[in-house]
Every structure is written in structure tokens, then in C-alpha cells.
Amino acid sequence: MSSLTKLLQEKRKNEVGAAVSGAAPVRPQMDNSGSHSTTTVTMVDSSDEGEPGSVGRSLEAQVNFSSSFINANSAHTATMQESTGSLTRDKPAPLSIESPHTDASTATTTIGQSSPQAASSSGGGHNRNVPSLSCSIPYSVPNSNNGASSSNTGSAASSVSSSWLEHSGLMPHNVSAIDSNVISSPKVDAVEPRFVITKQKFQKSSMDNAANAAQHAAPNSSISRSGSISSQLGNLFFAKQQKDTYGSTPGKDVTGPSSSYHGSSIPKPVRARRSSLYNGSRQPSGSYQDSFIGSPSSLHENPPNQFIPRSRHSSIADLKRFFKKGQSAGMSMSPNTPPVSAGGNISSHASNTSSIGPSSHSSTNGDTIYSSAHSSTLPYSKRYAKTGESLGAGAGGSVKLVRRLHDNKVFAVKEFRTKFESESKRDYVKKITSEYCIGTTLRHPNIIETVEIVYDNNRILQVMEYCDYDLFAIVMSNKMSYEEISCCFKQILIGVQYLHSMGLAHRDLKLDNCVINRDGIVKLIDFGAAAVFSYPFSKTLVESSGIVGSDPYLAPEVCIFTKYDPRPVDVWSAAIIFACMILKKFPWKIPKLKDNSFKLFCSGRNCDSLSALVTRTPEPPSYDKATGSTPTPETTPVPAAQASSNNPADPENTNIGPQRLLHSLPEECQSLIGRMVDLAPACRISIDQIMEDPWIQSIDACCVVDDGVTAKVVPGKTHTHTQVDQSEAHIAGLEKKKKKQK
Ligand SMILES: Nc1ncnc2c1ncn2[C@@H]1O[C@H](COP(=O)(O)OP(=O)(O)OP(=O)(O)O)[C@@H](O)[C@H]1O
């Protein structure tokens, strides 16, 4: 047992006092004041103790987060084991992952053909104040060749060819089986007019940006379509185009390679590849990193489907030049922020950047690449002081605390990691560019704000607003009330809804990637794995590819298919976050059948094949109308052929099927969470539908009200937010403490 676990146990002993009861479902209970409630917690998979693949056991052994949770809840385990009796008795017949088709080659085609257009899942009215670019794209059936992913026509066969479908009857060897080499880029038959860059278009774009900049006083006012991430990527591209196509700015470096992009061409979508940096120990092959206290590290691949200009000169210097071009073209990188002022660093350096490169003085002395505020002429090192405190580190870099000298305000600074030797320069630049674009584009109270991006001493630094706590640390404190959990969950969902409305999916939602400030406002961080799924004015879904994310939060389709719609993936991960907050443990280690907990969750559905479950498509709308009910995993009928299954549904048995997870959650949220963890992504509830759910609407969440001039926090009335000591408020602090105690 880790010392951290011991510590938490001790803490818990002090705090909890009486042991919580056994297998009964968790119910929120009002305390005396009537304003706060406590939540009792039940083990989901206590019956797995001792079984291979058991989440409880494996997490106990390998994941500190869960081991503490499991230990903290061990009393329930015993109770539950007794009350449920023999574990083997409840065990269903093994679930296979057979292809619905006996021949793999035909399976590919048939699945594509037989997957009807995912119809109504994202429909419905959207009375939201953010424009929805994506709501009209129905959730897609992975690898289907349907209209939703028409741009990918022709790619489905190759997508599936190396998937588990070939291994009829076998477990999905997802890591090795999904050979990213066969993933084909979306086929582009003709250049859409929106990609054709004319001088007029560019000038209009510049003017639009200037107009947007002028309106920056209302950062959270309605977000125009041109403010979408994709549009911003386009702006960057425009900026680059401008430079390359129309000649260099006078006085600027002209040594860069001449453009390979011409007005009529579009940047070729970068072929999805598993970045070498994440290949090794971070593969989701079941191995957890003992050394990492947090949730398993992300498996970031470069967002494969972003139309980021392919860098032909991929060094840091060139990246910088790339950024500078955008600025030198007089374009703000963000629609709601002003271009760096004339007195700002960019301009001041722009005048003497005849040699831009890591070795040049001007480029290594705190250049501001982007700033959301009026920039100072002083270099970064003269404006910020290091505090030495580390907040966390991961695949993308390390995050530290700094203090702004002129007002003593504290910020979090992410220093992007340097390029790994094994990593191609292109991959590296792509990753940084992606985070940069996203960081400078998104504006929402539930998304971390990027204050500036600086190039300093050959490092790229992202200065962000600082939030006092990681949600992970707060959950670890074991002090969260049910209302507080619900508030955090709703805020996460609002953040996700905003992202999706911008045509962007996060793809690495987890507790560690949610931070929370002292006012109880939750913010999503770490866009290193984010992917664009929709471009402005396009109803074409851009599928994502690659195993990206963190094992316990991964949606099953990510481990199964080479291409998938990233929106339902975010929805799934958000549900796992909620389950973790309630249960204080992961429901399973990884969503693969080799994980017994996940296997039991997939069982009891009148179906013997995971492939049939995952490729299920929504019932025709008339079904819902006729029954007047909302389909849930339990109520969704299975094909007649599956009626005589070895895994019959048994709603009474809380050890198998969706109820395995759901019965441990408060009753009011079971239906929604069930729809969020629908095994079939095409049937999974969309974020817009989630926001219309009565339970979600009833949650009293803290929020920020922005009248265009000032932003005011409106706290929830039913709860307060847990605050923990700063020494254990962040992942780095927890790690440090753990090491000290060893
Ligand atoms: N703005 C912030 N305020 C407070 N803490 C932060 C902030 N940004 C990051 N952190 C802390 O730093 C940690 C690492 O940040 P981030 O996830 O961006 O890095 P990463 O290298 O991409 O990590 P990962 O491997 O999980 O993807 C976070 O888990 C969080 O603890």
C-alpha cells in the first residue's frame, strides 16, 4: 500500500467516521443544514477481487489513484461480496468480439453498407448562445461509409482492414491490430471554394480580424463562426499563405523556404501516425505507470485530422517564423483579442527580425508570440518571476507557477517539452502548433484561458490563467459533496458543449485535465490531443484516428476502430469522470474485453458479440415516438438473431450489464449516464441532448455571467467547493508528498 494511500486512509478515517453501507445504491443525503449532502459510495466491481483483470485488484496494484479509492472503500467490498454471494454464479458466458460477419473482407464492406446513417442522435432544438457548427452532423458509425463521413469515402475499407474485425472470435489486440499505417487520409476530390485563397479573401479576413479585435471588450459575447478553431487554423494558414504567396514583408526574414502552397491548394491532411513519443511505455496495452500518481498518462497522438499546414521547415525557429508570419500580417490570432499592440513585443521584434532563429538574440529574449492583453515591450523574463513551484508534468511538457511582476498575479506556465530524438520534427511542430492554435482561439469560462505564448530561451511557453486545484486532487481529498460533484460535472459538460460547438473534440478528458479555481469554476486544460471534427460551413464529419486519451477514460470504439467520431468519445469520457467522482475509483482499467470489469459491463445484453453492440445504430425515430420513452442500454432492443444469447439480460443482477456501473450511481443520473456510456457511439447521447436532460438542467452549478464588460461568478446555492491544502492541490504536489513519505 502506498504511503499516499495510507495517508488518504487516515484522512478518511478521521473524516468519515462511521462506515458507509454496503451494496445499496448511492443516494445523496441532506445534512442537517439542508444545504449540503453527503454521498455514500459503493464498490462497483468488488466481485472481481482476485479475478484476473479485476479493476479493483489491478488498480490496487498498479494505479495509486484507484488503490487509495479501493482501500478507502474496502469495507464495501466485503459487504458486497457477502451480499452477492458466489461470484462465479453470476458470471455470464464469455462475451466474444466476433465480427458479425464470418469473412473479414466482407465484414468490412458489409459493416460500412449496413450501417445506416446515424439519424437523430444529435438533432433537436438548440437554444444555446453558442453557434453550433456540429449539431447537424449525426453521430457516425465507426468506419461506416455513410454520408456523415462522406469525405472519407474509400477509406473505410482500409480503416477496418487491420482492426479486430479480422480476428473473428478473438480479443481485440487493439494496439497491435490497429495499424495506423493503413489509415488513409480523407480523400479530397475537389478543392472546396472555401479553401481557395484569393487576395480579396485574405484582405477580408484581415479586416474581419481587425474588427473582431476591436470588439475584444466583450470576449464572451456571441462567438462567430469565423471564430471557430478551424477558422483560426485557416487564419494561420492564411497568414502563412500571405507571406508565401504574396511575398515577404519588407524588412523581414526572407530566408524561409518558398511556399509550396498556392491559392488553389489546401494543406494535405496529415496522415495519422502514432507518434513515436507515445509508442513505448504509454501504449494502452494494460501496463500502468507505477511511477505516475495520477490517472494513467495520456496517449497523445498528434491530432491527425487537423488541417494544419504541413511544415516543410520544422524546427523551433521555423515554428516561430510561422507564428510570426501570422502576426506580421497584422492578424490577431484570436478573434476576440487584439493584435499585439504596436508597442508590443512582436512589433518591436518584427522590425529587427532579419534573422529569426533560436540563436538570434531577438528570438531568444522573451518574444511574445501571442498575447490576449496589451503586451509589454519587456521580454518574458523581465515580466514574470519563477516561483519554482511545479504544478504537474506530462506528455506535453511541464507546468509551473510564475508571478507577474507588475501586479503580483499568479499564472500557470506550460513549457512545451523539447522534441524527442525519436520524434520527427514535423510531428513535434504539429503538436505545438495544435495546442497553440487552440489555446489562442477558445474563449469560454470553462476552458482555460491562454494569456500569452512566449518564445523564450529556445522554449515555447504558454502562460495560462492559474487555477488553484486539480479536480483530481479534489476528488482524492474525498470531501466532495454530491452537489459539488454534480456542479463540476455540469461545468465540464458545458465546456465540452462549447468545444463541440466549435467543431473541436478534446479527446483526453479526465480528472487530471480539469482544473478548478477558488470560485468553483471548472476549466478544461490540455488540448494536446484535441481534434477538429468539423470545419465551418461544412456538414462533413472529419473522423479521428488513433488511440488517444487515457486508458480508463477511453471509449471502447477508440480501442476497436481505426477511425471514429471523436464527439461520442468525449461524452463517454465525461461519464467516466462523473463515475470516478462518485465512486472514487475507475469502473475499469481499460475498455477491452480482457478487462474483466469491462467485460461484465458489456455482458447481460442479450448479445454475444461486442462488435454487434458497438456497431449498433439508433432505432428509427418512430420507435421513440411510439413508446414515448427514451431508449437506454437496457431498453434498446437487440436484433432478433441475438435473442438466444449466452448473455441474457438480467436486470436484477447488478453484477452484469450496464447496471453493473449504473446501480452504484445516484438514481436520478442513472438514465443519463447509461446513455453516455452506450457501447455504440452512434447511439450514444450527444452533448446537446445531455444539456437538455432534466437532471442536468436541475443541477445548481456555479457559473460565470459575462455582461460584455465584466465577468461575475455566480456560485451555486446548494454547495460550496472543497478546498485542499496547496501542497496537495496539484498532481505535482501529490507526487512530491508521496515521494517524501516513502
Ligand atoms: N492552468 C493551470 N492551472 C493549474 N494547474 C495546471 C494548469 N495547467 C496545467 N496544470 C497542472 O499541470 C498538469 C499537467 O498539465 P497538462 O495536462 O497541460 O500537461 P501535459 O503534459 O499535456 O499532461 P498529460 O500527459 O496529462 O497530457 C495538470 O494535470 C495540472 O495538474
Using one digit for the tens of pLDDT, what is the confidence trace for 104-144?
333 333 333 333 333 333 333 333 343 334 446 878 777 66
DSSP per-residue codes, 567-607: HHHHHHHHHHHHHHHHHSS-S-SSSSTTSHHHHHHH-SSS-
Catalytic residue among 48, 456, 508, 526: 508
Name which residue leads in pLDDT, 119 or 604. Answer: 604
Please give the share of the chain, as a percent, with pLDDT higher than 90: 32
Q: What pLDDT does residue 553 have?
A: 98
Q: What pLDDT does residue 433 have?
A: 78
Q: Where are the alpha helices (DSSP H) in 182-328?
A: 199-214, 229-246, 316-328
| Dist. CA 449 → ligand 1 center (Å) | 13
The pLDDT of residue 446 is above 70: yes
Q: What pLDDT does residue 321 have?
A: 44
Please give the share of the chain, as a percent, with pLDDT higher than 70: 47
Phi/psi of residue 370, nearest 5 degrees: -145, 145
The pLDDT of residue 738 is above 70: yes
**414 among annotated binding-site residues:** yes
Within 8 A by CB and 6+ apart from 77, the residues are: 43, 46, 49, 56, 70
Atom 16 (ligand 1) nearest CA: 526
Task: Go through 685-715 and write b for each residue having 16 or more CB atoms within 10 A of its CB, e for each that does not.
Answer: bbbbbbbebebbeebebbbeebeeeeeeeeb
Q: What pLDDT does residue 609 have?
A: 87
Atom 28 (ligand 1) nearest CA: 392
Name which residue leads in pLDDT, 135 or 353. Answer: 135
**pLDDT band per the 50, 70, 90 thresholds, residue 630:** low
Q: Is the CB of 576 under 6 A from ligand 1?
A: no
Name which residue leads in pLDDT, 189 or 109. Answer: 189
Q: All domains of the chain, ordered by start, with CATH?
A: 381-465 (3.30.200.20), 469-617+652-732 (1.10.510.10)
Within 8 A by CB and 6+ apart from 103, the residues are: none
How far is the C-alpha of 525 from the C-alpha of 527, rounded, in Å?
Answer: 6
Atom 30 (ligand 1) nearest CA: 392
How far is the C-alpha of 204 from the C-alpha of 182, rounded, in Å?
Answer: 40
DSSP per-residue codes, 257-284: PPPS--TT--PPPPPP---GGGTSTTS-
Atom 19 (ligand 1) nearest CA: 394
Choosing from 387, 507, 526 the residue with most ligand 1 atoms within 8 A of its CB, the one to mutate for a pocket test is 526
The closest-lying atom of ligand 1 relative to the alpha carbon of residue 295 is: 26
Give me the mean pLDDT over the 162-177 stretch. 33
Name which residue leads in pLDDT, 294 or 200. Answer: 200
The closest-lying atom of ligand 1 relative to the alpha carbon of residue 512 is: 29
The closest-lying atom of ligand 1 relative to the alpha carbon of residue 473 is: 31
DSSP letter, residue 684: S
Question: Could you confirm whether 470 is annotated as catalytic?
Answer: no
Q: What pLDDT does residue 140 have?
A: 77
Quick count: other Cβ atoms within 10 Å of Cβ 340? 26
The pLDDT of residue 521 is above 60: yes
Q: What pLDDT does residue 664 have?
A: 95
Q: Is the CB of 526 under 6 A from ligand 1?
A: yes
Q: Is the CB of 516 under 6 A from ligand 1?
A: no
The pLDDT of residue 581 is above 70: yes
Q: Is the CB of 51 under 6 A from ligand 1?
A: no
Atom 1 (ligand 1) nearest CA: 466
Angle formed at CA 230 by CA 304 and CA 347, multiple of 5 degrees: 110
ipTM over 0.85: yes
Q: Is the CB of 297 under 6 A from ligand 1?
A: yes
Q: Is the CB of 63 under 6 A from ligand 1?
A: no
Q: Is the CB of 476 under 6 A from ligand 1?
A: no
Phi/psi of residue 655, nearest 5 degrees: -95, -15
Phi/psi of residue 376, nearest 5 degrees: -90, 160
The pLDDT of residue 273 is above 80: no
Name which residue leads in pLDDT, 129 or 738. Answer: 738
Per-residue pLDDT tens digits for 36-79: 333 333 333 333 333 333 333 333 333 343 343 333 333 232 22
Q: How does the average pLDDT of the chain come out, rounded?
A: 63
Q: How far is CA 27 from the centre of its chain?
A: 29
Q: What pLDDT does residue 51 have?
A: 37
Per-residue pLDDT tens digits for 716-726: 999 999 998 88
The pLDDT of residue 501 is above 60: yes
Atom 24 (ligand 1) nearest CA: 394
The pLDDT of residue 729 is above 70: yes
Give me the mean pLDDT over the 144-153 stretch. 42
Q: How far is CA 331 from the centre of its chain?
A: 28
Give me the mean pLDDT over the 622-644 stretch. 53
How far is the C-alpha of 23 from the C-alpha of 20, rounded, in Å?
Answer: 10
Q: Is the CB of 548 under 6 A from ligand 1?
A: no
The amino acid at residue 125 is G
**pLDDT band per the 50, 70, 90 thresholds, residue 298:** low
How far is the C-alpha of 30 from the C-alpha of 38, rounded, in Å?
Answer: 7
Q: What pLDDT does residue 514 have?
A: 98
**pLDDT band per the 50, 70, 90 thresholds, residue 4:** very low
Q: What pLDDT does residue 345 have?
A: 27
The answer to whether residues 477 and 722 touch, using CB atoms and an 8 Å cutoff, is yes
Choosing from 401, 438, 512 the residue with most ligand 1 atoms within 8 A of its CB, the one to mutate for a pocket test is 512
Q: Residue for cell digits 461568478?
A: 713
Determine the angle formed by the axes of helices 55-62 and 64-72, rounding to 10 degrees.
120
| Dist. CA 393 → ligand 1 center (Å) | 6
How far is the C-alpha of 385 from the C-alpha of 92, rounded, in Å?
Answer: 60
Give me the mean pLDDT over the 249-255 stretch. 32
How far is the C-alpha of 159 from the C-alpha of 331, rounded, in Å?
Answer: 39
Q: Is the CB of 394 under 6 A from ligand 1?
A: yes
Give me the mean pLDDT over the 216-239 stretch. 33
Within 8 A by CB and 6+ apart from 176, the residues are: none
Q: Residue for cell digits 499563405?
A: 241
